[in-house]
Amino acid sequence: MALLLLVTPLANEAQQLGKMPRVGVLAAGSASEAPNTAFFDSMRDLGYLEGQTVIFERRFAAGRIQDLPALAEQLVTTKPDVIFAPVTPAALAARKATPTIPIVFAVSADPVGAGLVASLRQPGGNVTGLMSMNTELAPKRLELLKEVAPQISRVALFINPDNVPDRQQLNALNRVATELRVVIVPIAIRGPDDFTQAFTNARAQRADAVMIIPNPLNIQFRTRIVEFAAQNALPTMDAEDRGAREGALMSYGPSWADNFRQAAQLVDRILKGARPRDLPVEQPTKFELVINMKTAKTLRLSIPPALRLRADQLIDP
């Protein structure tokens, strides 16, 4: 009788585990990045408690987007009910691995151009999510950087040529470069070991400013880029407010943490029966301009009064 009582709860627990929704997470960065944390926090707020009401299957590429296809194949074998693949290369890898499992992305620069969805209003397949609008915002970031540092003429752009959003943003910047009287200097970085040579190349090509493309590698090694810019007195524009907080001159864009939280709501809706094809791709509604006044002072740059008023946050010394 005692043995029967012991086995029964274990059997019930196993049955409950079998009914739990399984959420796959395929991220290009690392688990500790703030936006990833925001997603899990939001899922918990929605009632998804790991091990009690949800099972998370996690795969992180640590900035190596070339590893995403294999990680996606591994993830699909766990048979998740939905896959959260926050950035474009992760979502593309997940979609290639499965045409049926729902996929949610959080910060795609141009999901239509990247081939993730047929249209924003009618995604049309097993993928939906939120835009970062980085392709549209890239020219605005360059314009803001030029407004604060009008003397710049050669802007280094550390990009991964294998990453679709990087190519999209490079093209967008090249279209406005002549008008803004700057030359875009693309410098390829495909892995962590490429940064040292990339910095050497930036100096050799006489770059006098930096724009940080928000790809997985640049996000993971942002500190190194910001330190390089500081050592060489290069005004730097980032797409995320974390960049300005870590020492970049400025940042302009949507809150990635907010996008990841909204993505959690999409995952919740799909787990409750919604189909990705019926969920329009959402766009951010708020864009924040953050200026690091300490960095500006170090670079001996004067922030125009009008831009100070437009800034959502001024980081003072």
Pair (209, 266) in one structural domain: no
With respect to residue 3, please indicate whether it lies within any of the assigned structural domains. Answer: no
Pair (73, 127) in one structural domain: yes
Pair (294, 190) in one structural domain: yes
What is the distance, to the nearest Å, from the Cα of residue 257 to the centroid of all Cα atoms in its chain? Answer: 9
- Residue 29 confidence (pLDDT): 83
- Residue 264 confidence (pLDDT): 97
Pair (212, 303) in one structural domain: yes
What is the distance, to the nearest Å, from the Cα of residue 48 to the centroid of all Cα atoms in its chain? Answer: 23
d(CA 201, CA 35): 31
Pair (34, 118) in one structural domain: yes
With respect to residue 178, please indicate whether it lies within any of the assigned structural domains. Answer: yes
Pair (38, 67) in one structural domain: yes
- Residue 3 confidence (pLDDT): 38
- Residue 274 confidence (pLDDT): 97
Pair (119, 141) in one structural domain: no
> Of all helices (H) and strands (E), which one includes residue 154?
strand 154-159
- Residue 317 confidence (pLDDT): 67
DSSP alpha helices (H): ranges in the chain? 2-19, 34-45, 68-76, 88-97, 134-148, 164-177, 195-204, 216-220, 222-231, 241-245, 256-271, 293-298, 305-310
Pair (141, 249) in one structural domain: yes
- Residue 1 confidence (pLDDT): 39
CA distances to 93, 103, 117, 130, 213 from 120, in Å = 20, 15, 7, 9, 23
- Whichever domain contains 173, its CATH number is 3.40.50.2300
pLDDT along the chain (317 residues), means of 10: 38 49 93 84 97 96 91 98 96 97 94 93 96 93 97 97 92 96 96 95 97 91 96 96 94 92 97 96 91 97 95 89
Q: Containing domain of residue 191, as a range?
A: 134-253+287-315
Number of domains in the chain: 2
